[in-house]
Structure 1
Amino acid sequence: MKQIELLFEKFLWNSRLIVLTAVIASLAAAIGLFYLTSVDVYHLVLHVTHYGDPNLTAEMRENIRAETVAHVVAAVDGYLLSTVMLIFALGLYELFISKIDAAEQSQGSSRVLFIRNLDDLKDRLAKVVLMILVVTFFERSVRMAFEGPLDLLYFAIGILLVSLALYFTHKSGGHAPGEKTESGH
């Protein structure tokens, strides 16, 4: 009976390796998003080179400027989403498979990629997702057409809510470097 129990426990422990599929898929998604966003930025730069054309009217220049700002914000959004997938892949690997020795040995590596527990992973992902929402809000606000005072009021309330979300996120993680909170980080 003890032999069956040991075999089952070994099988159970090794079943965590199924997480490798999520790690590889998340890493592939991150690479794909980095590629897509980089191609978009390349085409954006090509598009912006027309801005100096002396034949453009002021209205055409304004349209290029507005489109450029919107595309830059979309690029930031794409890179942030890529980062989410990368952090997620690294976090899952460290939590379920093994610590990444190369990351621990690297002196210049960022602390954002060190994941100690599931709460740590969720916290890092939540902050990046919040930044994606802020960038998306900004992107929509650039394209927004105000038709009356109520639209302006709604816009101001949106800015207030985004600001509060950023404030509380910063406040919740606002402990001194090296200081541990009750959750251990």
Structure 2
Amino acid sequence: MIRLLEKIFESTLWNGRLFVILAVIFSMFGSIILFIVASTDIWGMVVKTFEIYIQHQHPEHFHEELVGVIIGAVDLYLMAIVMLIFSFGVYELFISEIDPAKKTEGSKILEIHSLDQLKDKLAKVIVMVLIVSFFKKALYTHYSSPLEMLYFAGAILALALGLYFLHKGGDH
């Protein structure tokens, strides 16, 4: 009787891992939404740019707005990639290997064999998101003193060092 209860409990516990399918599905939805929103933002700027140049207008600060929207879209694309890597990794770790991914040679970036590997891949993309966000903030910052420019240079140096050590620690 105890052996039967143990078998039922272990089977239930093992099948409980399938609840992570909710994280996989909704991460995929989140990724798709982020890709659509970023693409829509860029398309809106394409249309606006076309209209401005057709009408021979050149609004003040238009280039800054254009660059800001594009950087914002890159930020959203990177977040979409984070969600995509997360959903693939969780699926492969908890549910099953993705068979179609094994048949293609270009899918090595999405292969995840351990939780540490998933965390490492996510951390690298998240750092890139933070760098792009920093760049977007820096684009709109106005510096009024040499000390502020020095702080800005120090922040760039810190980002460069962080990227160097992140790259150095990887499998390259």
Please, what TM-score do these two structures have when normalized by structure 2? 0.94
**2:98 aligned partner:** 100
Instruction: Assess, with a 3 A threshold, how the Cα gap between structure 1 residues 111 and 68 changes in structure 2: closer, same or farther.
Output: same
* Mapping of residues 162-177 of structure 1, within 5 Å: 162-175=159-172
Q: Which runs of 5+ in 2 are unaligned?
A: none
For the structure 1 residues 33 and 11, does the alpha-carbon distance in structure 2 shift closer, same or farther, using more than 3 Å as the test? same
The AA in structure 2 aligned to 1:86 is: L
- Unaligned 5+ segments in structure 1 are 176-185
Deviations 1:45-103 (A, max 9, x none): 1122245357535xx25x11111111110010000000000110000000000000000
Following TM superposition, the consecutive aligned residue runs of length 4 or more in structure 1 with deviations greater than 3 angstroms are 53-57
Q: CA RMSD in A?
A: 1.4
**Which aligned pairs between 1:1-185 and structure 2 lie closer than 5 A?**
1-52=2-53, 55-56=56-57, 60=59, 63-107=61-105, 109-175=106-172
Matched residue pairs, number?
171
Identity among equivalent positions (%) equals: 43
Q: Any conservation in 2 of the 1:22–1:89 contact (CA below 8 Å)?
A: yes
Distance 2:144 2:157 in 1: 20
**What amino acid is the match of 1:77?**
D
Question: Which amino acid letter does the alignment assign opposite residue 41 of structure 1?
Answer: I
Q: Could you tell me how far apart the structure 2 residues matched to 1:126 and 1:120 are?
A: 10
Cα distance in 2 for partners of 1:136, 1:129 equals 10
Which amino acid letter does the alignment assign opposite residue 53 of structure 2?
G
- Map Cα deviations across residues 128-182 of structure 1 (whole Å, 9 max, x no partner): 000001101111111111111111011101101110110000010144xxxxxxx
